[in-house]
């Protein structure tokens, strides 16, 4: 289990001033009462904007790897095998998902051209500048040196700051644990040489994961071969996401929000 770095500043009210802290909720009330985070950062109305360019140091040993995922939309058939296998592997509460495939109906508004269905896999983007990390008041959300963003749910107080900060709607408060939850790239499987559940179960082979720092890895080769077609979601947010897409329509790059099962994108 990862712990707070020794240099982390601690809240400074006296024992008489502090709110009851016998539980996570007591700590959360104390934090709200202070109006500042445990790192001393003042809570703002726009935590996502405040987070960018204020990243704390990454944790763990430097192993030289940087994991990323490539999703080929052309190969995705929307079968949800990835969603099911992820749920079986990681056991989130019923009705909550770490990854899913959203179905979009695109109405071209062109005579004689029927609406097209687009399947778009969604998950945590494990960004290089993750806005979810610096807004966490107790540093429960952190990033490893290999780029994987994780949540220490023994520290998490369930405040939801990270959920609000994520521009990809990739986080949620777990109904059972009342702590933040998200895709982890199945880091427990990566560490023993296995593929994430969603990659292993993908029927069409649409998902690829690997070390972006290894020029000979499959993902590095595919990114190089398809460099003119590679896109990411919401690049203007400055998060530098590390889930890459091939075959992603331009209209989806900055126009995707929410986790609904089906969304209609008119006028495209």
- With cut-offs at 50, 70 and 90, classify the pLDDT of residue 12: very low
The gap between the terminal CA atoms of the chain, to the nearest Å, is: 47
H or E element, residue 51 = helix 47-51
pLDDT at site 84: 97
Average pLDDT on 194-219 reads 97
Tell me: pLDDT of 25 over 60.
no
Q: Does position 50 have pLDDT exceeding 60, yes or no? A: no
Tokens representing 185 are 């790239």
The answer to whether residues 168 and 233 touch, using CB atoms and an 8 Å cutoff, is yes
pLDDT the model gives residue 176: 96
Instruction: Find out whether 218 and 207 touch, Cβ atoms under 8 Å.
Output: no
- pTM of the entire predicted model: 0.75
**What is the mean pLDDT of the segment spanning 200-227?**
97
Count of CB atoms situated within 10 Å of the CB of 164: 15
Q: How confident is the model at residue 145 (pLDDT cuts 50, 70, 90)?
A: very high
User: How confident is the model over 57-116, as pLDDT tens digits?
Assistant: 898 877 899 999 999 999 999 999 999 999 999 999 999 999 999 988 777 666 666 667
Within 10 angstroms of residue 204's Cβ, the number of other Cβ atoms is 14
């Amino acid at each position: 289990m990862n712990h707070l770095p020794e240099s982390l500043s601690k809240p400074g009210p006296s024992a008489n001033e502090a709110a009851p802290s016998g539980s996570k909720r007591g700590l959360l009330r104390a934090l709200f009462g202070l109006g500042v985070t445990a790192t001393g950062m003042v809570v703002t109305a726009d935590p996502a904007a405040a987070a960018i360019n204020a990243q704390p140091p990454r944790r763990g040993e430097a192993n030289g790897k940087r994991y990323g995922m490539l999703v080929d939309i052309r190969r995705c058939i929307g079968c949800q095998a990835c969603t099911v296998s992820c749920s079986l592997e990681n056991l989130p509460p019923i009705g909550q998902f770490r990854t899913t495939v959203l179905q979009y109906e695109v109405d071209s508004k062109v005579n004689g051209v029927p609406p097209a269905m687009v399947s778009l896999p969604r998950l945590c983007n494990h960004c290089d500048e993750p806005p979810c990390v610096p807004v966490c008041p107790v540093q429960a959300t952190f990033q490893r040196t290999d780029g994987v963003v994780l949540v220490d749910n023994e520290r998490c107080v369930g405040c939801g700051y990270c959920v609000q900060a994520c521009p990809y709607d990739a986080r949620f408060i777990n109904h059972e644990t009342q702590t933040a939850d998200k895709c982890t790239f199945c880091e427990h499987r990566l560490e023993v040489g296995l593929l994430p559940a969603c990659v292993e179960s993908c029927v069409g082979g649409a998902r690829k994961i690997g070390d972006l720092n290894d020029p000979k890895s499959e993902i590095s080769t595919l990114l190089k071969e398809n460099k003119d077609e590679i896109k990411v979601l919401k690049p203007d947010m400055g998060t530098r996401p590390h889930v890459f897409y091939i075959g992603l329509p331009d209209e989806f790059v900055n126009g995707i929000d929410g986790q609904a099962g089906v969304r209609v994108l008119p006028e495209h």
